[in-house]
Chain A
Amino acid sequence: MGKLANIPKFDKAFWKQVGNEITDEIRVQTQNKGRDVFNKNFKSYSRGYAERKPKLKRGGTGFGSKVNLTLTGDMMNGLQTRGFTSDSVTIGWSGTNAKKIQWNADMGRAVTTNSKPLSNNSIKIAQQEARQRIKRNADKETAKPINFKIGK
């Protein structure tokens, strides 16, 4: 049998995977479902912006006037796994995209906040990934060797 102390151990690859899963969940929550970090529908855009949105430069369709914080897609595409160690992962935005996220939060459309950085769904994903990894580690560490005797 291996060491039980290894069961709750995670590595860099695990945390990177958790980061990738959570960033995609935030994109689904924001862009596909149009919901904020509290799982509430985003506050409506002003009438003027909702009318202008589909026509804006480099905007593309951006899902039309639907409130999903998506015009060019740059902001939500900028959400990435930005660093990982064997104990943690950092996800987020940089530069202009980070400012846009903050501005949206200030306007009442929060993708993340200091008091609630992740939605309940995102937290569930992290827990699920951890459970799977612990089970895999446990199976590996507690596996009993099976001996085959071949021949006489």
Chain B
Amino acid sequence: MAKDTASLQYAKAVERVQQELVKQVFDLQKQGLSKNEILLVLQGLDMEDIILNKLNLNADIDRLMLEYQNVLGAMEMTGTVTAESLTALQRIDRNSFAKQAGVMGELIKKEVARGVIAGATEKEIADGILRGAGGVLRADQAETLANTALNQFERNVTVEMAELDPANATYVYLGIIDDKTRDICLLMASEGSLTRDEIESKYPNTFSNAGGFNCRHRWARETSRSEQLIKPDRASSLIQDKKRFNPVTVEGIKVG
């Protein structure tokens, strides 16, 4: 299964869980429970447990994790990346997906409670949640999260491989430069070549995160062909043309 397919399947699983949760709450109503009784039931629910175990999103997260193995399968191990660090990276991501499910559950709980009080129909509440009402994770956002996590994991492995590079090795920021490019990416692309230390000092953590979600760029080792692939002048020119320029890393650190 390819990365994109795995992310899409995860997004569909999230959507299925959301619809099922709303349906189950409305089953309570059909059984004759009053609004107050439904709210009391909602209040006592452990949403993380319900989503992960009863509605079995755990199995879907496990399927997504299998794709991590495929990423590794395509990256021959070189001795610079240890099995322990890779396992740790996978576990961190798995825990993160599980926690996101819990947060999503709590937001769905709030949204359903709001809908029940307002007398909304099952369809109205379900449609609202699927559209992201109340800040609930939408399917397309879940897909982006999963896709970004997989790309990030691949980048982390590549970064580990870069440990073999000498300290004075230089890197360039590769990827398309156009009017859709993020400010932070334009700034890094305008730099030309930098050492790893310079990158970490000027643009913290971008060596592995690049510009963030769905980023089309990455730091790559400078080669004899790099000059033909990068466009620092074009990036600088786009920066000059901007009315508002706010380069921040994915962690919200303002740079430049």
Contacts and interface: CB of A to CB of B under 8 A. Distances in A.
A96 B78 contact: no
Given A60-B180, A90-B76, A99 B2 contact: yes
Interface string B1-31: 0111100000000000000000000000000
B176 A70 contact: yes
Interface in B161-207: 161, 164-166, 174-176, 178-181
A72 interface: yes
Contacts, number: 90
Contacts of B34: none
B75 interface: yes
Given A21-B223, A28-B228, A74-B216, A95 B77 contact: no
B25 to A, nearest CB: 35
A126 to B, nearest CB: 13
A13 interface: yes
B223 to A, nearest CB: 4
B78 A60 contact: no
Q: Is the interface of B mostly helix, strand, loop or mixed?
A: loop
A80 interface: yes
Interface residues of A, number: 35
Given A74-B216, A77-B218, A95-B2, A61 B225 contact: no
B63 interface: no
Contacts of B181: 60
A134 B180 CA distance: 45
Interface of B: 2-5, 70-71, 74-79, 154, 158, 161, 164-166, 174-176, 178-181, 214, 216-218, 220-221, 223-226, 228-229
